[in-house]
Structure 1
């Protein structure tokens, strides 16, 4: 909580908050007293919150802090998650990331003509359809299991060639993990992943220290696929109410665009590869992420 609040108030200037600059400042952003004034609480109380004493903080106080610090929706949700985790025991938040999907979800994925997959909070690709697996073939070519987008982005030497929006992808990936860590602070798998990436990637450590958060629900991806070349794709992420922590991502290209043509070529390549696999195995190929 402390690091998040400090990082957020450092990003807000007095002018942005509707305050006078107030002379020379030793550090950027708002002072504690200014945040307290804007939120309608005492400086002493805000100082205690910033130190992590959030167990008794009401929703109205947290909402006031969110407004004072100009938090967006993802940052506000993260603030509430941090407050809840600070006021409850580990058992209240011990929700491991989903590692398998119900048959109905796999059927839903397989029924999509566009690339689609299901992912959990820590970025594991839990299930895909055929075209989704083909689009993410560089990730599935990695030896690590489960297939994980964050591990690929920060540890694979092939990631730089795959992500054309390299720096933005890194920021988005870390911001999504930071948001997940706030909502499930006692997920051992997530903690282990963050520890691994922090140990092995200086870039990850730097981005993690920024405390930025982001909800992956919609956006664009600029990829370079090893088979069909450049792709500019839009995506939508759909949270599953019946499976908390699991989201389905569906990607699409502008109709008639070069990326749409490339997706058609990728679908043809994926179908041919699946047919060859069926012929070699003597059994229907499945689009499961764990398949070698």
Structure 2
């Protein structure tokens, strides 16, 4: 698929975020548009105005790594944005098609028994998702933590982004800071779109959400991207209250394109006690309580 539109919108949006003062440039006269001018970006990156204008029109195929690095510095891209720029360039070159692992079509992915054993060995919540934010596998506590997501979507493989924007009552209950969760989910989806522009299911998902949710459409147009490796998240479950959890996310070498996320509570905290209570409902011999607010 041609990614010229994505390249163009991404570069324009990043240029608009940098002021002359941010770049250490003097300001002369009134400026009709926010951010830097094309001439200023070109000068900062050490390329001709004509060449930068060509890049901003989406013709990024063939750009060298040194040019992309210079562009990233000129636009003050963070690590996630820089990686996204390189992914867009590789996609334009057609190199990502050869780099992507072959996937078996049609059949829904199922965790290998050994992987499910590993998940179940964790006493804290553990989940596996793909780049489209489909929730593919959980351990017992991960399933209980996301019971509201399964209930709201009615799907055996729920999607976090679809849940966030289309199941608003349940999503606002589950995410006390809904705006942050919404921004993060769209940024992760945008990152995946740059990494794999040939994913038809992802394009279909973006099209569906853009049609059905103005909130999604507005965030998607911002072209923000981010990595999602570690941090803290706040959740709310009706049965046990707020859960403030640290998380670590790692790419799965054995399953390219999938991410394993492990959650943990600070020892001795209220969240740790709440997780202990939730865990008491996840035993195979006990029917878990329905968490309507999760």
Corresponding residue to 2:23 among 17, 27, 36:
17
CA contact (8 A) 2:91 2:97 kept: no
Give me the whole-angstrom Cα distance separating, in 1, the residues matched to 2:287 and 2:270. 28
CA offset at residue 241 of structure 1?
2.1
Corresponding residue to 2:254 among 242, 252, 258:
242
CA offset at residue 107 of structure 1?
2.0
CA offset at residue 91 of structure 1?
4.6
Give me the whole-angstrom Cα distance separating, in 2, the residues matched to 1:90 and 1:35. 27
Range with greater deviation from structure 2 (227-236 or 40-49): 227-236
Deviations 1:138-165 (A, max 9, x none): 1111213421111111111311111101
- Secondary structure of 2:285 counterpart: helix
Please name the residue that 1:36 is paired with.
42
Deviations 1:88-131 (A, max 9, x none): 28854776698333333222211111100111001111111000
Please name the residue that 2:162 is paired with.
151
CA offset at residue 276 of structure 1?
4.0
Please name the residue that 1:203 is paired with.
215
RMSD: 1.9
Residues 194 and 93 of structure 1: is their aligned pair in 2 closer, same or farther, counting only changes over 3 Å?
farther
Residues paired across the two proteins, number: 276
- Secondary structure of 1:275 counterpart: coil
Please name the residue that 1:99 is paired with.
109
CA contact (8 A) 1:3 1:211 kept: yes
Range with greater deviation from structure 2 (158-167 or 143-152): 143-152
Pairing 1:58-97 to 2, within 5 Å after superposition: 58-88=64-94, 91-92=97-98
Deviations 1:253-273 (A, max 9, x none): 1111111110010101222xx
Give me the whole-angstrom Cα distance separating, in 2, the residues matched to 1:99 and 1:215. 24
Give me the whole-angstrom Cα distance separating, in 1, the residues matched to 2:276 and 2:31. 57
Corresponding residue to 2:129 among 119, 129, 150:
119
CA contact (8 A) 1:85 1:93 kept: no
- Secondary structure of 2:186 counterpart: helix
Give me the whole-angstrom Cα distance separating, in 2, the residues matched to 1:48 and 1:114. 50
